[in-house]
Each structure stands twice: as structure tokens, then as C-alpha cells.
Structure 1
Amino acid sequence: MLKFRWNFQWVVFFIALLNMVVVLVVSPTKSSANTLESSKSSETTDSSILSTINDDKIAPTPEQSPESVDQDNNLMEQVTPVSDILSPGTTGSNTSGSLDENSPMSQVSSVSQLADVKPTDWAFQALQSLVERYGVIAGYGDGTFKGNRALTRYEFAAGLNAALDRLNELIASSTAELVKKEDLDTIKQLQEQFSAELATVRGRVDALETKTAALESQQFSTTTKLTGRVQFVVGSLLAGDNVVTKKAAPRVVTFQDSVSLRLNTSFTGKDSLGISLGGGSIVSLGQTRAGLLGTFDGRTADNANVTRPLNDFSLGGLRYRFPLSKNTQVNIYALSDGANEIGFTIPINPYFESNLATGANGISRFSRRALVYNYGDSGGGIAVLHRLNQQFQVGLAYSAPNANNPTPNNGFFSGRYLALGQLLYTSRDKNFRAAFTYVNTYSPPNTRGLSGTNFGPAAGSNLVNSTVAGAGTVANLYGIQAFYRVSPGFAINGWVSYGAHRYLGRGDGEAMDWAVGMAFPDLGKKGSLGGLFVGMAPKLISLSKNVDLGAGLGQADKDTSLHIEAFYQYKIADNIEITPGFIWVTAPDSNASNPDSLFGWVRTVFRF
């Protein structure tokens, strides 16, 4: 029987109609589907335990580098958003086990099951009769009747159709003499008057059944969802010299690409296994000392993995997430990094960090990540996120970039590692977020991670990414990041981070960065985004006198290099956007003797 929703006005009409048509002699037998127990069993309870903790979700290519693993993990969020799992103070998609107030429930067998129907209500007797004598009343998912809501003609048609079905059952189970001819004529007139609406309802049901059958036959998997991203980039250096050779760098326009695929599987409805594959040919204009400019300054975020051949399609990320309790989530990953699992689970910097939901992407690695996050590298590890209350969340992570390498100075515990802890605060209105982050990291001598470095943020100056040959390096990193949505069309974010380096057996160094970003959602068009970013990329601000990182004993970075970035992400269609932008770096490599560099970048993204 078709389930439908009633209000008091037509409850009275229907009870009068039924009593006019048939003075019931036969009391309908209640089926098990109309019992309280069956109604309760129909409620959705096996859903994500943690979905009431988080909110929004905002993915470049999945390559085996920190920025690409960040992108991979955000690809996964389409299916099981951690921001839908652990973002304070939101109901997410209602997978916490609580029922949606507008979702239908099984037909009730007693009027007492409807929490908002009182014996003093003027239509109580009519409703009680419909429930107990005819069994054709269904409430809402939250156990209410909502009798004061307006009734549409389609809803009345659906109710009338159900009533007619019930009348046919009653007539079939009784004798013809019990029904008067004029009463049947009245029913016939109502049926004819609402014939168009009844036909529309039947047509909609038939169409839904056809679409459902097609989806079931064509779906990729009952438990796995496939998402993807194709990206084209046209870029060129417009100005700047190589800081090592001191010669003008080539001004060559390039056309490059990347492809990423994400398989997201849930075994229980609460967990998520994410597998990402990808490859590309995008070469950053600011990549390594061997790159175009000879420095990490201006490093773009869309670049391919520097340790693998271009367009080599390979595994880019592997992670399994599951709830340990109502407020705790565990992430076990074979290929990711702790900074991503904690720092980017709920974006502090949502309009510059990559995310599939809004497609927001800063052009550079620096505009997406503070120094405190950037020392991480792809590898195996574990992260635990725990909600303290609706406003506070704590996260802990341990990653080992070379966990799968059995040689000396490598492995899960004896090689390079990153241990991260973070406290996140989110305001009740979700317009403000702040995070306090601490990282302890160690790099053995003469090892190399997937980002191409042994140590450092893989952004900013060469000295801040340098180590002493033959010596291990330890760092303690501290960061404060904040985000504030001033209005629907304007948001601001910023951070300050500090790093204390120790070159074991040699001496110490200090690193620092800061940044401010401004975002303009829906600029010019709904779904588009403007971004402006200014900051001091990571630089070495001091160095012990007996340590030489390549510039001489005790020589830290001489000057301050500013990173200025702007982009406009124009939404062409729901799954297509084009983003022109530029990166301007003053005093590259934190050296005022180097002329400013300027990059032009146009990125086109297709999502499916």
C-alpha cells in the first residue's frame, strides 16, 4: 500500500467518507507491517557513528608526493567526508543513526505513536479511527504527524488512491448489500475528479522503478564508488632567473596533464577504504634546486611526483578509515602522511586547499599548506581524531615516509618519521576555525623522501630545505592557523609557524613562515571563486656559527622573499572549471640580489 502523509483537514474528510461508504462490520486484520515493532525496525540505525561531528568539504592529482596525497585524500571525501565525520557542530548528512524528521516511517498501529497528536486536538477521534480501524496512517521519521502542514493536490491524490485500495479490500471481504449505490457514486466522482493526479503519481512511481532498475544494472559496485579528475595546465615563466646559475630562466609555454582515479569502498556503512591511482606530466615551475629556477620558491601544487617518470600511472594513496567509538575515528594508511590525515581532514584553509566539493585550489604548494604541515612526506602510518565536544577536536598522527624500506636508517620506527598533534576549535556557527599544531620530525642522514628532499618543507628557500651531509636532523615545529568567514562572499585565513632545527652533532637553525589569504566565493558567478594570497614562504632566519648549509658557516637567509598569488576559478559547469592565475615571488631564495620571478598558470579541471 502506498505510504503518504496526512494533515488534520483531510483526516476529518476521509473518516467521514469511509463511514458514509461502509458501516464496518468487518474489522481489518492488522498485518505485521503495521505493528509498533516493525515500525521501529524500519528506522535507519546502521549509519556513520560520527556524522554529526563535522561539516563542509572542499583534489589535484594523486601522485606519490605530499601535495598529491593531500589531493587523493580529498578525492575520497566525496564518498565518506571526514569533514562530515569530525567537523564540530553539524548534522552532516544524517548518518548518525538519528532519523530525518521528513523521512517516512512505517504505518502506525496506534495514535499514541504520533508524538504531536494530543487527545485534546479537535481531530483526535477522526485520526484515531483511521489508525486503529483502517490502518492507513503513516507519520514522519521523527515519530510526529505534523497535522498543521499544508496539503498539496498530489498528496491528496496519493492518499485517495490508498484509501480506494483499502475500500476495495473492505468491499471484497464483505457483502455487496452493505454498500449503498449512492455512496459508491460519490467515491467514483472523487476518483474521476483526481484521475489526472492519480495518473501522475502512478507515472512517477513507474519512472522511479525504471531508473532504479537501470542504476542497479549499471552501477560499478554495490559497495565501491569510482570518482576521477582530469586536469590540463598551460603554464609559463614570465620573468625570473635561475638562482644557482644566475642566468635568465627559459620562458617556454608548456601544456601538461594529469589524471587521477579514486576507488572508495565501505564495508559496514561507517568505514571507508580509499585507493587512489594517478599520473601526470605537470612539472612545477619552482620544483627543486635542479629545476627551472634552482629553488623551491613558487613551487606549484599540481606537479607530478618528482621521483617517478612523467605520465607513470601508479598507486598514489591507500588509506582505511573507521570509527573506533561515537567520537573517535582511526585512519590507517600505507601511503599518505600524518599532516594530511590531521591537518587537512577539516580544512583550516578551505578556499585554498584542494577539495572536490567546491573545487577550490590555490596554485602553489605554499598557499595551501603552512610550514608546520609541509615537513611530512608520503608513507605509512596511523592517525586518530577524537571529538572532545561540539567545538573542540584533537588529532594525533605518526607517519614514516620510508616505512616500507628494510635498509638501515629506514623502516617504520628506525627511519624518517613525523609525529603530529593538533587541537582544532570550530565556532558554533562554523564561521570561525583555529588550530594549534605541534610536529616533531626526524630525518636520518642521506635519505630521501618521495617529495625529493631529505628534510624540510619542500617550499621556500633552499637553505630551509638543507641538511648537513652525514648528520641526522631533528625539528620541532609549532603553528597557529585560523579561518574566518566574514560574509557569504568574503572569507579570510592566515597562519604563523615556526621551526626549530637541530643538525645533530653540529648546531641549530630556526625557520619561519607566515601568510594571509582572502577568498571571494561566488565572485561573478555562482560557484566561482576569487583568491588573493600574500605571505613569507619558509625561510631560515638563524643558524649556528659552526653549521654550513651551503652558503657558508652560520649563514642563514639574507633577505625576506614575499609570495604573492592570485587566481580566479570560473565554474563552466558543475564538473568543469578553468582557473587562470599567477605567482609573483620577490627576492627569490630569500636573496634580494635575485630578480623577481613571475609565473602564469591556467588550469582546467574535469571531474567525474
Structure 2
Amino acid sequence: MTKLFWNVLKVSPVIAATFLSANSVIAAEVNEEQASTFAQLSKEANNIGQVTSVSQFSDVQPTDWAFQALQSLVERYRCIAGYPNGTYRGSRAMTRYEFAAGLNACLDRVNELIATATPDLVNKQDLATLQRLQEEFSAELATLRGRVDALEARTAELEANQFSTTTKLKGEAIFSVSQAFGGKQADITDGNGDNDDLNSNATFSNRVRLSLESSFMGTDTLQTRLEAKNIVENDAVTGTNMTRLGYDGVTTAGNSVRIDKLNYAFNFGEKIRVKIDAVGAELNENVNVFNPDFRSSASGALSRYGRFSPIYRQAGDGAGITVDISPSDKFTLSAAYLATGRNDAADPSDGEGVFDGSNTIFGQLAFKPNKAFNIGLAYARTYQTANDVNLFGSTGTTLANNPCSDAKTEADNYGLQFTFNPNAKITLGGWVGYTTANVLTGDTSRDANMFYWGTTLGIKDFGREGNTLGLIFGQPPRITDSTKNISNTDSNATSYHAEALYKMKISDNILITPGLLVIINPEHNDSNDTIYVGTLRTTFSF
């Protein structure tokens, strides 16, 4: 209040003199009132301990003189903004710190009026009232101002040391211990059982990602993600892509750093979101895949197939544009055109580039009639150039991914996905997909049909709050029928994908996930031994 006194003296000696005189009378009244109160509460004071003011014992009631006095000041000088009619609403009791915050606002407002010497100067009665209120709530005001000073100091420190005013840095590191084991490697040829023994060692590997996310308008995001990893794919020792992990891969020379993603997303109106990928485009990153508990490579399923339907792997690691339109809360329409291949879109050679190289046209309609149920219908038209055929992004059998023996291929992919939440802790999900592939060179009458399905169950807070139990079961892509001489048909048997995992939340930044993957009849061949993959994944995020 020192500032208030000096400003009063500078502006009006008459007001200052009057104020000081009134203050002496008020101070005597306050001392008399405090003496009476101390006499009444002497026993309680001995038990509770010494306090600055007896009034600290209770909240401020609407009937208290202080409450009514501040209400009058607020409505007269509009100290507290936020009420449309400018009145001070207060039908409930306030804590003394809430009251002190309002009082502090009025003190600042009065100081401002006096300092500017406006005609609306505070009268002497209001000055006296403010002085009495300040003395009554001196402890709370001191605490409040101390907290504000600490907050301002902390804010200044953060501003001085912040990474950027427009960019946030996010990081993620995975430590993975894993081993595949079983009898023999999977055989994709004649299934005569003469394939090699499955000799695999336990591995300890890692993946690190640093993402720079910049915003220039508040609703847009420019993402630049750096990645380094050395997680060798299991198919090298098991003979089948069905055993691959959902986060595997090796950057050049192992753990070398590369730009993994570069994209820019922005709103085009209130209901349209546009994302442009320069590199690292993935459908599963741009649209809903209806598998919220297991879609993430860092915190979702351990396996590659368990993360989401293979229809979202039709275009990977390329460049293009994705548009999401949400006309209402119940419907979302997604459309995308992506040139696949890390460098194909930037290659001006014949048969490459944005439109002449491998590409995917994708569309999806998502319907969410209520909070519990969500369903999506997806279609993808895929074109893949010769020696670049991989229809399902290395999920399913080798034959299903490349049914046309590396010939130029086009495919129509149809998918149905859903998520169902019977309650807040249980999530049921699943997908089913059908693909027809046609050869575009040589005998163009050749074609093949593929089918796959999967189901998922996630149980949150299982065993402990924050933990999740996950179960995944399904059939990876397989060829159901094909024309003569296009390839062998995966008709010997049916492979089954079974996965169990348990996500343990150690803290907000550490997640440990042990799990077991079981592939029955690998490569859809019942002559192959069952293969197991045990994994312990630890994810650090910051």
C-alpha cells in the first residue's frame, strides 16, 4: 500500500490528510475489535498456535463487512473483469485467498486511477475502506504477492531458456529385448520340411526419435522428425514377415540419423484438415485406424500385424496429401493421394515421380453414432511398379505381398474396421479386408485375391491403474484363389496370429511392455513349425 500512499500525497494533499485522519480512527476501531476477538478465542489460540490474524480462521461470508465492502468497490471501479453486467456476484462464501485476489485487483485499479490523475479519483471513504481491508488481509495479500512474484520469476526463466517461441521438441526412445524361437524356419516353397533350423539369438536394440513441431498460426503444425534405429527384422531368421515387430527397422549403417518425417498440417476452414507429406507419409499416421490401444509403434502392439489393418500399409514412406473432412461429430471423410517409396516422388526418371511411380489413392468414411461405437469403410487403389511390389507392407505371406512375381501390379483393396467400448475400461476392435490384384504386363488376365482379418481386446487399469492388458488374434493376408501361373496359392492351411502383451505404466514418461507373439502355421503352411517371439519393450517419452 506504500505506493498508494505516495500517489495520494502527490495528487491531492487534501485527500491525503483526510485519509490519514480517517485511518487513525479506523485503526483504533480495528485494534478494539481484535482485542475482543482474542479474548473470546484465547483457549483455541493456545492449542492451534500463533497466527497473524484471528480472521484467518474462517472463510469470508457474504454477510461479512469485508465482503460487502469489496463488492461495493468492485462494482464502483470495475476492478474484476468477467461479469457481463459489471456487478460482483457473490452468493457463496469465499476462501480468504480468493478474497485477497479480488482485493489485490482493486488495489491495483485504485493505484492506476491515482497515478493517471483522472477525474474518477478514489474518494476518501473508499481509501479508508481499502486501508482497512488491506490491514485485515495483510497475511493473505503477502502470500498471494509472493506466489505471483515466484510465478513471474519462473516464467521469466522459462522464456529465457525456452527452445523456441514457435517450436516444441518431443522425444521418444525404445529399448527392445527380443528373441524368436521354434523348431525350423518357415518354408514358403513346397513345405517338404527340409527348411533350416531356426537359430536365433536374443537381441538388445533401440530406436530413437526426435520430433520438432512448429506452429505459426496456432492451428497448424510443421513436423520434422529425426530417427535412428538398429532393430533387425525377424524375417531374416524366421523365414516369414509374420514374426516382424511393429517398430523394427535399421537406418543406414545402423543407428545413423535420418529425416524420418517432414510434413505440414493446417485447417482449411472449421471442418477440413489438410496434411501435406514431403517424406515419410503413412496412412496410419494421417487417418483413423480404429485400433486406439495398439496402433502406436512405441506404445501399442508389439507385432507389425497387430497394430492395424494392412489396408493402411498400402502407401508407406512416401509423399502426398491427405484431407480429413468432418461435417459433423458423427461422420469423417478422409481422402489421400500418396506417392509411395522414400525417394520415388523426388525422382524425375521415367516410371518414377509423383504420378508415374508407385502410388495409392485412398478413401475412408468413418461413422460414429455414439461414444461406444465407431466404424470405418475404407478403399485403396494401389499401383506398384515392377520390382517394387509389396501389397501389404510386409504383413502376411511372401506370396500375398508379391503375388505377381514382381510384375507391374495394380490392386483394389476393401476394408471394414470397427471399435466398440462397452465401458470406459474395455475396448473391442477388429478389421476384415479383401484385395484383388491384377498384372499389368505380359498376360494381363492374371489376377489373385487375398483375404485377412483381426480382432483385438484392450483392458485398461488391469492389475493396476494405468496398465493395459492386450490380446490380439487374427489371420494375416493370404491368397485365397488366383489364375493359373500367377503364383502358388496359400491354400495348404491357415496361419493364425496370436499375441498377448501387458503395458505397464511406470510413470507418465516410462512404459514397459512385455509380450509374446505366436504364429501358428507360418506362411499358411501346416508343415511349418509354430514360431514364437518373446519381447520386452521399454519406451521413454519426453
Change (3 A) 1:145 1:501: farther
Q: Secondary structure at the match of 1:354?
A: coil
For residue 474 of structure 1, report the CA deviation from its aligned partner.
0.9
Question: In the TM superposition, what are the counterparts of 1:309-328 in structure 2 within 5 Å?
Answer: 309-328=253-272
For residue 323 of structure 1, report the CA deviation from its aligned partner.
1.0
Tell me, in whole angstroms, the C-alpha distance in 2 between the residues paired with 1:571 and 1:277.
25
Tell me, in whole angstroms, the C-alpha distance in 1 between the residues paired with 2:432 and 2:176.
31
Matched, 1:220 2:156: no
For residue 172 of structure 1, report the CA deviation from its aligned partner.
8.5
Question: In the TM superposition, what are the counterparts of 1:523-542 in structure 2 within 5 Å?
Answer: 523-542=462-481
Contact 1:284 1:301 (8 Å CA) reproduced: no
For residue 409 of structure 1, report the CA deviation from its aligned partner.
2.2
Tell me, in whole angstroms, the C-alpha distance in 2 between the residues paired with 1:267 and 1:164.
38
Aligned counterpart for 2:309 among listed residues 361, 370, 393: 370
Deviation digits for residues 291-329 of structure 1 (CA, Å, limit 9, x no counterpart): 111111121111014x73321210101111111111111
For residue 14 of structure 1, report the CA deviation from its aligned partner.
6.0
Tell me, in whole angstroms, the C-alpha distance in 1 between the residues paired with 2:277 and 2:63.
56
Tell me, in whole angstroms, the C-alpha distance in 2 between the residues paired with 1:179 and 1:536.
80
Contact 1:374 1:457 (8 Å CA) reproduced: yes
Change (3 A) 1:338 1:283: closer
Contact 1:329 1:385 (8 Å CA) reproduced: yes
Residue 435 of structure 1 corresponds to 376
For residue 216 of structure 1, report the CA deviation from its aligned partner.
0.3
Contact 1:239 1:251 (8 Å CA) reproduced: no
Change (3 A) 1:283 1:184: same
For residue 218 of structure 1, report the CA deviation from its aligned partner.
0.8
Tell me, in whole angstroms, the C-alpha distance in 2 between the residues paired with 1:278 and 1:436.
32
For residue 576 of structure 1, report the CA deviation from its aligned partner.
0.7
TM-score by length of 1: 0.71
For residue 185 of structure 1, report the CA deviation from its aligned partner.
7.3
Residue 182 of structure 2 corresponds to 239
Deviation digits for residues 546-600 of structure 1 (CA, Å, limit 9, x no counterpart): 3235xxxxx3342111100011111111101111001001000000000100010
Matched, 1:478 2:414: yes
Question: In the TM superposition, what are the counterparts of 1:121-520 in structure 2 within 5 Å?
Answer: 130=73, 133-139=76-82, 147-148=90-91, 150-166=93-109, 188-244=131-187, 246-285=195-234, 291-305=236-250, 308-337=252-281, 339-343=283-287, 346-354=288-296, 360-401=299-340, 402-429=344-371, 431-447=372-388, 454-469=390-405, 471-504=407-440, 505-520=444-459
Instruction: Output the amino acid matched with 1:462.
Output: T
For residue 148 of structure 1, report the CA deviation from its aligned partner.
4.4
Q: Secondary structure at the match of 1:433?
A: strand
Tell me, in whole angstroms, the C-alpha distance in 2 between the residues paired with 1:268 and 1:180.
46
Aligned counterpart for 1:548 among listed residues 487, 490, 505: 487
For residue 414 of structure 1, report the CA deviation from its aligned partner.
0.7
Residue 73 of structure 1 corresponds to none
Contact 1:375 1:458 (8 Å CA) reproduced: no
Instruction: Output the amino acid matched with 2:171.
Output: G
Larger RCO of the pair (alpha carbons < 8 Å, separation 6+): 1
Instruction: Output the amino acid matched with 2:99.
Output: F
Tell me, in whole angstroms, the C-alpha distance in 2 between the residues paired with 1:299 and 1:375.
17
Instruction: Output the amino acid matched with 1:248.
Output: D
Q: Secondary structure at the match of 2:231?
A: coil
Instruction: Output the amino acid matched with 1:272.
Output: T
Which stretch of the first structure deviates more once superposed, 140-149 or 533-542?
140-149
Structure 2: 5+ residue stretches without partners: 1-59, 188-193
For residue 496 of structure 1, report the CA deviation from its aligned partner.
0.7
Contact 2:479 2:490 (8 Å CA) reproduced: yes
Matched, 1:578 2:512: yes
For residue 493 of structure 1, report the CA deviation from its aligned partner.
0.5
For residue 432 of structure 1, report the CA deviation from its aligned partner.
2.0
Contact 2:448 2:481 (8 Å CA) reproduced: yes
Tell me, in whole angstroms, the C-alpha distance in 2 between the residues paired with 1:436 and 1:144.
54
Larger radius of gyration: 2
Residue 101 of structure 1 corresponds to none
Instruction: Output the amino acid matched with 1:400.
Output: A
Contact 2:438 2:446 (8 Å CA) reproduced: yes
Change (3 A) 1:570 1:336: same
Change (3 A) 1:597 1:12: same
Residue 7 of structure 2 corresponds to none
Tell me, in whole angstroms, the C-alpha distance in 1 between the residues paired with 2:325 and 2:380.
18
Residue 115 of structure 1 corresponds to none
Tell me, in whole angstroms, the C-alpha distance in 2 between the residues paired with 1:339 and 1:570.
28
Contact 1:139 1:145 (8 Å CA) reproduced: no
For residue 341 of structure 1, report the CA deviation from its aligned partner.
4.7
Change (3 A) 1:292 1:361: same
Q: Which has the higher helix share?
A: 2
Tell me, in whole angstroms, the C-alpha distance in 1 between the residues paired with 2:350 and 2:123.
95
Contact 1:277 1:314 (8 Å CA) reproduced: yes
Q: Secondary structure at the match of 2:301?
A: coil
Change (3 A) 1:146 1:134: closer
Tell me, in whole angstroms, the C-alpha distance in 1 between the residues paired with 2:471 and 2:512.
17
Residue 11 of structure 2 corresponds to none
Q: Secondary structure at the match of 1:422?
A: strand
Instruction: Output the amino acid matched with 1:444.
Output: T
Change (3 A) 1:139 1:424: same
Change (3 A) 1:557 1:205: same
Change (3 A) 1:184 1:212: closer
For residue 251 of structure 1, report the CA deviation from its aligned partner.
3.2
For residue 340 of structure 1, report the CA deviation from its aligned partner.
2.6
Q: Secondary structure at the match of 2:515?
A: strand
Instruction: Output the amino acid matched with 1:605.
Output: T
Matched, 1:567 2:501: yes
Tell me, in whole angstroms, the C-alpha distance in 1 between the residues paired with 2:296 and 2:70.
60
Q: Secondary structure at the match of 1:352?
A: coil
Change (3 A) 1:566 1:242: same
Aligned counterpart for 1:595 among listed residues 524, 529, 534: 529
Instruction: Output the amino acid matched with 1:315.
Output: I
Instruction: Output the amino acid matched with 2:275.
Output: N
Residue 17 of structure 1 corresponds to 69
